[in-house]
Amino acid sequence: MKNFYKYLIATFTVSLVVLVSIQVEAGNKDRSGQAGASELLINPWAKSSGWGGVNIANVNGLEAMYNNIAGIAFTPNTELIFAYTDWMKGADIKLMNFGLTQRVSESGVFGLSIMSMNFGEIDIRTIELPEGGIGQFSPRYMTIALGYGKAFSNTIYGGLNLKIINESIADMTAQGIAIDAGIQYVTGVKENIKFGISLRNVGPKMKFSGDGFSLATFVRGNDNAFTTTQRGAAFELPAQLNIGAAYDFLFEQSRFTLAGSFISNSFKKDQVLFGGEYSFRDYVQLRAGYTYEDGIYNAVTDPEKTNVNRGLSAGFTVQVPMNKEKGSVFAVDYSYRPTDHFQNIHSISARFTL
């Protein structure tokens, strides 16, 4: 049986590499901005974003639905999270996120996540009325994710995630699907050494359609209008490969976790992440991380800088046991991510473990 699991993890890893070679042209900075559905690269969860999402190897519970779906297999019974993110404060972009994970068998966990991205009210402008004054519209992005995680043994955990993507403005919409896959490996005498790998956002191209591509025009000499419909261009999804490791330093009443990861992006620069988390008796947790990529130190006006984030991230968690016998916990998570030009990124969430 042990040989079977070793074969499984080896096969899975090779499959990920093959998929990446087909789907991803990793780290090509010349392709930055050419993919669509970039909301798939936004971490909406306050806990994991507090150290930059570096916890590829040790993320567990509901928040694993973002960066490594395998981690939801660690959900003890039921977990609920309500999260809010003020994205690049001052840009009037808000993210609302809700998620649920539920153990459905001794080794299997089902997960559901819904993210809604609101851009506020924008004036409608036309060729005839470039200054607006004829109303407003509100673009909205929504991503629904359905995941399943499974413990194959005491050391190997895996999962799959299906995402349904919807983007809409006043008169155009685009729909698409994407798949995530991930695996985590836990080892060590105290199970404090962890490795993880995940492939995210692999799927077919998306394309906008709707009345927004139609234009009514009049031809001289004719009283009737002719409608011309343009063809929208298809766009690819921002696939990425994540590889990470983590080590827990265990003390009598506390824990310190050191983690590092590498992210290979298909439509932006590759990134290297490292971070740490300190936990005192699981009541208070402090975390911080740093994400490095080429040009991160450049001025925001430099063409080589393609990310407004400064790379730093920090956050904390305060959690209170509700029922020690059942392991029920209520927690509040917060994260802070500084940016250039904008007024930073703030996330907060309420988390229930039942």
Residue range 126-145: mean pLDDT, rounded: 87
Grade residue 217 by pLDDT with cuts at 50, 70 and 90: confident
Residue 235 lies in a domain: no
Q: What's the farthest any 2 CA atoms get from each other in the chain?
A: 88
Q: Is the pLDDT of residue 110 over 70?
A: yes
pLDDT for residue 3? 53
> Quick check: 264 and 279 in contact, CB under 8 A?
no
Of the two residues 225 and 150, the one the predictor is more confident about is 150
Provide the number of structural domains found in the chain. 1
Q: Provide the residue range defining the domain that includes 257.
A: 2-203+240-353
Q: Would the pLDDT of 49 be above 70?
A: yes
- For the whole model, what pTM was predicted? 0.87
Residue 233 inside a domain? The answer is: no
pLDDT of residue 24: 44
Q: Is the pLDDT of residue 339 over 60?
A: yes
- Note whether residue 220 is domain-resident: no
Higher pLDDT, 76 or 217: 76
Lowest mean pLDDT among 16-20, 48-52, 142-146, 242-246: 16-20
Confidence at residue 11, expressed as pLDDT on a 0 to 100 scale: 46
In a domain, 224, yes or no: no
Domain assignment of residue 120, yes or no: yes
Q: Tell me if 179 is assigned to some domain.
A: yes
Q: Is the pLDDT of residue 224 over 80?
A: no
- Of 326 and 187, more confident: 187
Within a domain: residue 264? yes
The DSSP call for residue 232 is P
For β-strands 206-207 and 234-235, DSSP reports them as: antiparallel
Residue 106 lies in a domain: yes
- What is the CATH classification number for the domain harbouring 177? 2.40.160.40
Q: Which of 197-201, 268-272, 320-324, 344-348 bottoms out in mean pLDDT, i.e. has the lowest?
A: 320-324
pLDDT > 90 fraction of the chain, expressed in percent and rounded: 64
